[in-house]
């Protein structure tokens, strides 16, 4: 028990220590040392995660660590404790694993930045909060982590804070997340009110006990589930709160890979999976989740079709994939969603890091129209990104094939329309990913001569993480093969029902697989014809017309939000400033002025002539005495 | 208590008090020397004290006399402070005429 506590503390506190060192001494340590400290701190956490994972797979029992009683109000008791079970350890593995790789990558990627120590301190802080979020034993600890990663996301999106656009993007991300967080907080309050505890295990027992009573107050559960889902929408970029994620690409590319693709944005899925016993009791909310997930997936995919910024394409792809995960969550197929979270973390991190490598090689160019032909100059980047693109497109035997297929299969068994929506989104995914690949790596280079001259493969600190991630993206699917899923068995203790319905591999399943594969290949083929055979290059901004223009401008959602929410609030603020505040200050200052005037006149009474004072004093005395006598 | 009060009569004490008090008031109002003003105040104070004692005897009640003790103690303290102020004024201005104190105005 003592041992477990120490391990858990080591796990959490090493990144925090890394953060402290980098924040206070980073500048004097030098760039490489600062980066090395950040990387080692996360790597230690990763090793601890592996140890914990071993322990849990061998004993099959969750590790519970209670540090101390935190809050105690009447009979509501909240501990600061950790729950290391199958789910949280799985999350830890890829958070710290991919985290270490991305730290390693950042040493090289951020080397020219003068504030590199700040960058690493934020990254470490992020890992610290993410671990807190994942291993907390109750919702309040989760909430701390939840807010913490939001803060780090804000800091890192606005890392290059001299650019006002980037600052705006950071603020947008923060504010959008706050809207979601309010939902989460209300959800936590409702659950706390209903269960009288925030601890997951106690909550589970309480809810199942009270569900049997079927009293009136049970309606709180769907309400709480809906509020929690709003929180998840904010963090995991679902409609209507998704617009911050594409803008978040303003941050350095490693940040996009770590926070906005692999880890933080999956926090919403983690939370829903963690509270599966709540969502299982709220079927209407589950339907809402599935529908929102499917719509998000489709909408983001369509926008991704025409984007020209390499990171924006990946960002919309992330939103779209997250939508697919929520689709699975909505059907109660939690293990399927978790599976896709993991494979997605691998290939999307790889894609982002690859795009970072490209951007690095082109000295900051992100527009795909000015790329092309990079295959020869950057072979490692090309091949790793190719593998990941195949994975995300669902080409057989790469990891994405298995996870996406399971989601679509689940959808097919529950709702045909949503299955169709998900499939269309998948085909689009294949198309825009290969559009990205063809535009970036094939044909002739379209940039300037000078850039062409400097084209080179990135250093080994960049390519090694890419290679590792590409290997994971290839073989990651093995953890959950259809019909023989290690992952489903591993996660089984978490779920109330028997680990989803195991699909028997019948004709339907093979047909569905076939359809998915053909769809994916179709998408790739269209991209091949359009951008390789016909050698199309997307038009420059002003020449885009028709539907493409709507898509290119992201359905004008930002503009709509601006008109519906931002402008009225600004107008209201202006009204308050111009009228209400002016009125109030006139009142307050007026009172002050009147007092001042009176005092100025009264000052003259103090003439300094003592004789006069005495005279007035006697006069007053006489007046008082005569009043007393005359009044009687 | 067949004493002097009965022989003289309470009303004479009241007259004396009033006269003393008025002397004090006029002294305060007309004199310019701060020490004289001070003395006039003391006269007013003692006029009141006298009245206190007279009524105390008249009503056969010792409370009035007790109160006079307090009043005299406070007066002594006040005189000590007041004279100290006067001394410092004299050192600064070389005079104790209250007309010289006009620069006390706010």
**DSSP letter string, A511-571:** HHHHHHHHHHHHHHHHHHIIIIIS---PPPGGG--HHHHHHHTGGGHHHHHIIIIIHHHHH
Q: What does the DSSP 8-state code read for residue A281?
A: T
Higher pLDDT pick, A570 / A534: A570
Report chain A's C-alpha Rg in angstroms: 30
Domain boundary among A492, A517, A552: A552
Q: Are A149 and A231 in contact (CB under 8 A)?
A: no
Task: List the structure tokens of A607.
Answer: 């003439």
Residue A86 domain-assigned (yes or no): no
A524 shares its domain with A542: yes
- Confidence category of residue A500, pLDDT binned at 50, 70, 90: very low
- Answer whether A573 touches B (CB < 8 Å): no
State the nearest Cα–Cα gap between A623 and chain B, in angstroms. Answer: 15
- Answer whether A506 touches B (CB < 8 Å): no
Q: Are A157 and A169 in contact (CB under 8 A)?
A: yes
Give me the phi and psi of A70, to 5 degrees please: -100, -60
Please report, rounded to a whole number, the percentage of residues in chain A having pLDDT higher than 70.
97
Structure confidence at residue B10 (pLDDT): 86
Residue A62 domain-assigned (yes or no): no
pLDDT in tens, A3-51: 888 888 888 899 999 999 998 988 888 888 888 999 999 999 999 999 9
Domain of residue A188: give its range.
Answer: 138-552
A362 shares its domain with A484: yes
- The residue of A602, A614, A618 whose CB has the most chain B CBs within 10 angstroms, and thus the best one to mutate to test that interface, is A614
Residue A52 domain-assigned (yes or no): no
CATH of domain B4-104: 1.10.287.3510
Give me the phi and psi of A79, to 5 degrees please: -95, 155
Q: Are A314 and A66 in contact (CB under 8 A)?
A: no
A305 shares its domain with A438: yes
CB contacts under 8 A, B 71-100 vs A, are 98-99
- Confidence category of residue A497, pLDDT binned at 50, 70, 90: low
- Answer whether A604 touches B (CB < 8 Å): no
Residue A79 domain-assigned (yes or no): no
Residue A293 domain-assigned (yes or no): yes
List the single residue in A603, A608, A614 with the smallest CB-CB distance to B102.
A608
Q: Are A384 and A470 in contact (CB under 8 A)?
A: yes
A607 shares its domain with A486: no
Chain B residue closest in CA terms to A601? B106
Quick check: A505 pLDDT over 90?
Answer: no
Residue A47 domain-assigned (yes or no): no
Give me the phi and psi of B72, to 5 degrees please: -70, -35
Q: Is A153 exposed, middle or buried (0-12, 13-18, 19+ CB in 10 A)?
A: buried
- Answer whether A615 touches B (CB < 8 Å): yes
- Answer whether A601 touches B (CB < 8 Å): no
A537 shares its domain with A582: no
State the nearest Cα–Cα gap between A618 and chain B, in angstroms. Answer: 8
Q: Are A340 and A407 in contact (CB under 8 A)?
A: yes
DSSP of A158-227, one letter per residue? TSSTTSHHHHHHHHHHHHHHHHHHHHHHHHHHHHHHHHS--BHHHHHHHHHHHHHHT-GGGGHHHHHHHH
- Answer whether A614 touches B (CB < 8 Å): yes
Residues of A in contact with B104 (CB under 8 A): 608, 610
Structure confidence at residue A351 (pLDDT): 92
A346 shares its domain with A482: yes
Quick check: A72 pLDDT over 90?
Answer: no
Q: Is A104 helix (H, G, I), strand (E, B) or coil?
A: helix
Between A114-128, A206-220, A249-263, A312-326, the lowest mean confidence (pLDDT) is in: A206-220
Q: Do B98 and A610 touch (CB under 8 A)?
A: yes
- Confidence category of residue A149, pLDDT binned at 50, 70, 90: very high
The dihedral sign for the CA sequence A200, A339, A253, A465: positive
ipTM of the complex: 0.76
Residue A109 domain-assigned (yes or no): no
Omega before A240 within 30 of 0, i.e. cis? yes
Higher pLDDT pick, A509 / B24: B24
A283 shares its domain with A403: yes
What is the tally of structural domains in chain A? 2
Residue of A62, A472, A479 lying closest to A274 (CA atoms)? A62
Residue A22 domain-assigned (yes or no): no
Mean pLDDT, chain B, rounded, equals: 87
Q: CA separation (Å) from A83 to A88, A92, A124, A523, A544?
A: 8, 12, 21, 43, 52
- Confidence category of residue A147, pLDDT binned at 50, 70, 90: very high
Q: Are A554 and A302 in contact (CB under 8 A)?
A: no
Average pLDDT over residues A414-441: 90
Average pLDDT over residues B9-28: 91
Tell me the sheet residues that pair with A77.
A72
Report chain B's C-alpha Rg in angstroms: 17
Q: Do A614 and B104 touch (CB under 8 A)?
A: no
Structure confidence at residue A317 (pLDDT): 92
Residues of A in contact with B99 (CB under 8 A): 609-611
- Confidence category of residue A605, pLDDT binned at 50, 70, 90: confident
- Answer whether A599 touches B (CB < 8 Å): no
pLDDT in tens, A255-278: 988 888 888 899 999 999 999 888
- Answer whether B103 touches A (CB < 8 Å): yes
Chain A residue closest in CA terms to B104? A608
A456 shares its domain with A603: no
DSSP of A331-382, one letter per residue? TT-HHHHHHHHHHHHHHHHHHHHHHHHHHHHTTS--BGGG---HHHH-HHHH
Q: Are A437 and A387 in contact (CB under 8 A)?
A: no
Q: Are A512 and A409 in contact (CB under 8 A)?
A: yes
Residues of A in contact with B101 (CB under 8 A): 608, 610
Quick check: B105 pLDDT over 70?
Answer: no
Q: How far apart are CA A41 and CA B50, in angstroms?
A: 93
Structure confidence at residue A501 (pLDDT): 52
Tell me the sheet residues that pair with A126.
none
Predicted TM-score (pTM) above 0.95: no
Q: Do A618 and B25 touch (CB under 8 A)?
A: yes
Chain A residue closest in CA terms to B28? A614
Domain boundary among A532, A552, A572: A552
Structure confidence at residue B52 (pLDDT): 92
Structure confidence at residue A17 (pLDDT): 93
CB contacts under 8 A, A 162-221 vs B, are none
Alpha-carbon dihedral A308, A309, A314, A318, rounded to 10 degrees? -90
CB contacts under 8 A, B 5-64 vs A, are 25, 28-29, 32, 37
Quick check: A217 pLDDT over 80?
Answer: no
Q: Are A216 and A135 in contact (CB under 8 A)?
A: no
The ranges assigned to domains in chain B are 4-104
- Confidence category of residue A499, pLDDT binned at 50, 70, 90: very low
Quick check: A423 pLDDT over 70?
Answer: yes
Structure confidence at residue A1 (pLDDT): 62
Q: How far apart are CA A465 and CA A470, in angstroms?
A: 8
A536 shares its domain with A568: no
Domain boundary among A535, A552, A569: A552
- Answer whether A607 touches B (CB < 8 Å): yes
Q: How far apart are CA A248 and CA A172, in angstroms?
A: 8
A544 shares its domain with A577: no
Mean pLDDT, chain A, rounded, equals: 87
Between A347-356, A537-546, B57-66, the lowest mean confidence (pLDDT) is in: A537-546
Between A194-203, A330-339, A496-505, B78-87, the lowest mean confidence (pLDDT) is in: A496-505
Structure confidence at residue A214 (pLDDT): 67
């Amino acid at each position: 028990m003592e041992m477990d506590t120490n391990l858990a503390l080591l796990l959490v506190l090493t990144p925090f220590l890394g953060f402290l060192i980098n924040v206070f001494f980073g500048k004097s340590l030098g760039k490489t040392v600062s980066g090395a400290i950040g990387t080692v701190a996360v790597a230690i956490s990763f090793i601890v995660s592996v140890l914990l994972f071993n322990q849990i797979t061998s004993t099959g029992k969750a590790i519970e660590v209670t540090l101390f009683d935190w809050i105690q109000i009447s009979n509501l008791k909240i501990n600061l404790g950790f729950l290391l079970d199958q789910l949280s350890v799985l999350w830890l593995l890829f958070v710290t694993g991919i985290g270490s790789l991305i730290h390693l990558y950042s040493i090289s990627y951020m080397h020219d930045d003068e504030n590199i120590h700040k960058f690493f301190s934020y990254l470490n802080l992020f890992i610290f909060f993410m671990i807190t979020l994942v291993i907390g034993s109750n919702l309040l600890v989760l909430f701390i982590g939840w807010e913490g990663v939001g803060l780090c996301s804000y800091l890192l999106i606005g890392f290059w804070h001299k650019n006002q656009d980037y600052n705006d993007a950071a603020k947008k991300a923060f504010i959008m997340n706050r809207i979601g967080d309010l939902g989460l907080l209300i959800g936590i309050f409702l659950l706390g009110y209903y269960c009288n505890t925030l601890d997951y295990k106690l909550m589970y027992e309480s809810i199942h006990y009270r569900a049997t009573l079927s009293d009136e107050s049970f309606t709180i559960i769907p309400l709480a589930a809906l509020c929690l889902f709003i929180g998840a929408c904010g963090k995991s970029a679902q409609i209507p709160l998704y617009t911050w994620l594409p803008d978040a690409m303003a941050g350095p590319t490693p940040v996009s890979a770590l926070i906005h693709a692999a880890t933080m944005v999956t926090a919403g899925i983690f939370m829903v999976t963690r509270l599966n016993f709540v969502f299982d009791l709220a079927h209407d909310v589950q339907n809402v989740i599935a529908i929102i997930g499917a719509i998000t997936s489709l909408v983001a995919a369509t926008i991704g079709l025409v984007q020209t910024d390499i990171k924006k394409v990946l960002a919309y792809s992330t939103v779209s994939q997250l939508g697919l995960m929520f689709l699975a969550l909505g059907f109660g197929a939690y293990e399927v969603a978790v599976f896709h979270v993991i494979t997605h973390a691998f290939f999307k991190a790889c894609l982002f890091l690859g795009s970072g490598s490209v951007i690095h090689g082109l000295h900051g160019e992100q527009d795909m129209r000015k790329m092309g032909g990079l295959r020869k100059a950057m072979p490692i980047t090309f091949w790793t990104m190719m593998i990941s693109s195949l994975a995300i497109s669902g080409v057989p035997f790469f990891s994405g094939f298995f996870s996406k297929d399971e989601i679509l299969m689940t959808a097919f068994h529950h709702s045909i329309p949503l299955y169709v929506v998900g499939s269309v989104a998948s085909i689009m995914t294949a198309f825009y990913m290969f559009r990205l690949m063809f535009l970036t790596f094939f044909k002739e280079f379209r940039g300037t001569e000078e850039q062409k001259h400097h084209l080179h493969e990135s250093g080994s600190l960049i390519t090694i993480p890419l290679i590792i991630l590409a290997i994971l993206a290839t073989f990651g699917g093995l953890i959950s093969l259809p019909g023989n899923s290690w992952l489903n068995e591993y996660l089984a203790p978490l779920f109330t029902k028997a680990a989803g319905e195991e699909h028997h591999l019948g004709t339907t399943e093979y047909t569905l697989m076939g359809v998915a594969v053909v769809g994916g290949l179709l998408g790739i083929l269209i991209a091949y014809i359009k951008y390789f055979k016909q050698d199309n290059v997307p038009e420059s901004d002003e020449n885009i017309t028709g539907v493409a223009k709507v898509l290119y401008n992201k359905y004008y959602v930002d503009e709509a939000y601006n008109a519906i929410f931002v402008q009225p609030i600004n107008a209201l603020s202006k009204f308050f400033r111009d009228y209400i505040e002016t009125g109030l200050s006139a009142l307050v200052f007026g009172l002050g002025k009147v007092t001042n005037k009176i005092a100025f006149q009264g000052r003259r009474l103090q003439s300094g002539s003592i004789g006069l004072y005495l005279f007035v004093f006697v006069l007053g005395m006489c007046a008082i005495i005569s009043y007393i006598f005359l009044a009687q | 208590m067949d004493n002097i009060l009965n022989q003289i009569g309470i009303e004479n004490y009241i007259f004396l008090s009033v006269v003393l008090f008025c002397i004090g008031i006029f002294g305060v109002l007309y004199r310019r020397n701060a020490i004289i003003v001070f003395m006039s105040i003391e006269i007013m104070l003692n006029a009141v004290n006298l009245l206190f004692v007279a009524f105390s005897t008249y009503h056969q009640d010792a409370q009035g006399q007790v109160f006079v003790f307090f009043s005299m103690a406070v007066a002594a303290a006040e005189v000590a402070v007041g004279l100290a102020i006067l001394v410092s004024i004299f050192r600064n201005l070389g005079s104790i005429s209250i007309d010289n104190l006009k620069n006390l105005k706010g």
